[in-house]
Amino acid sequence: MIRKSDKTLQITEVSLRDGSHAVAHQFTESQIRSAVHALDEAGVHNIEVSHGDGLGGSTLQYGRSLVDEMKLIEAAVEESKQARIAVLLLPGIGTVHELKQAHALGARLVRVATHVTEADVSAQHLYMARELGMEAIGFLMMSHSAPVEKLVEQAKLMESYGAEAVYVTDSAGALLPYQVKERIKALHQSLSIEIGFHAHNNLSLAVANTLVAIEEGATRIDGSVRCLGAGAGNTQTEVLVAVLQKMGLDTGIDLYRMMDLAEHVIGPMLQRPQEILTGSLVMGYAGVYSSFLLHAQRAGKRFGIDSRDILIELGRRGIIGGQEDMILDVAAELAHTNKNEVL
């Protein structure tokens, strides 16, 4: 049973950021406008808009955006009447320069994302966000890959830098329900700020894991309409809203409007159904970053090897987000090894 919290549950819609991975960062301004307008009318609390890898992510390494993300952020702000527009920033990809730009355009919330063991690199950006008057949130990615004690240590660092909430981020969709429970519970007991949870559905556990997180005290929850996100997508927002309503928890989000926009606004943006295909499944199984899928598939075709082998090797080596250049290196090494074995 979900326990009552003194904090209101906030849903952040990530399909227009995390979903950028699924469409190779090809969102148009018209798509962003129509989606934000519909999500805002449905009562979604926060809507995240930026390149899939956050501010400054439009590069050859991470994938070029069709439209400059600042233009998309500006369009989103113009369309939103109630929801806050949020952005993601990965230190080393995005800088305080992009953060200031996004703020000037009207973004009011930033999630500063680091690998689960590297919270120290978030300090400058969290401090700047608070100085700008933005809501500053810490985002600990690949949270499955560190012991609970390390997660708590790093979350406390983000809290000390001014984070108003810290997320357990299941970037690979690799966490099992009991692992979510122990992580959220530990943070809830150790921090004085809010706890968030960001799921991926690579093992078909996103909704279940999200419910566990809420039960253990998480009050910031991410979802993506139609599971439009990297890999097999995130917690499906309209499904989560329906489940929470059945459990007696009113999020203030209009379920019928969410169903309609999922079908008629987000649906046409999908390049393929967001289902758990082999690539997504192996990412959850191997515990690798969900945005690696398209990169691994392209590398597999280029070198004539199975992309699953690439993903599993990336997981074995502990490759993390921001190291996408290693995907080609690993693919080349595997191809070379396979050729030698044949000889």
Phi, psi at residue 334, to the nearest 5°? -65, -40
Residue 7 has what DSSP assignment?
S
Question: Residue 264, annotated ligand binder?
Answer: no
Question: Residue 18, annotated ligand binder?
Answer: yes
Beta strand 165-169 with 135-141 is parallel
Q: Identify which of 237, 239, 244, 234 has the alpha carbon closest to the alpha carbon of residue 199.
A: 234
Say which amino acid occupies 325. Answer: D
Residue 167 in contact with residue 139, Cβ under 8 Å? Answer: yes
186: left (phi over 0), alpha (psi -120 to 50) or beta: alpha
Percent helix, strand, coil in the chain, to 5, is 50, 15, 35
Instruction: State the Cα–Cα distance between residues 36 and 53, nearest whole angstrom.
Output: 19
Question: Residue 198, annotated ligand binder?
Answer: yes
Question: Residue 144, annotated ligand binder?
Answer: no
Name 278's Cβ contacts closer than 8 Å, sequence gap at least 6: 308
Residue 142 in contact with residue 150, Cβ under 8 Å? Answer: no
Q: Which residues are catalytic?
A: 21
Three-state SS at 45: coil
Place of tokens 């926060």: 46
Please give the annotated binding residues for Mn(2+), written as ranges.
Answer: 18, 198, 200
Please report, in range form, the residues annotated as the binding site: 17-18, 171, 198, 200, 289
Which residue numbers belong to the known binding site for substrate?
17-18, 171, 198, 289
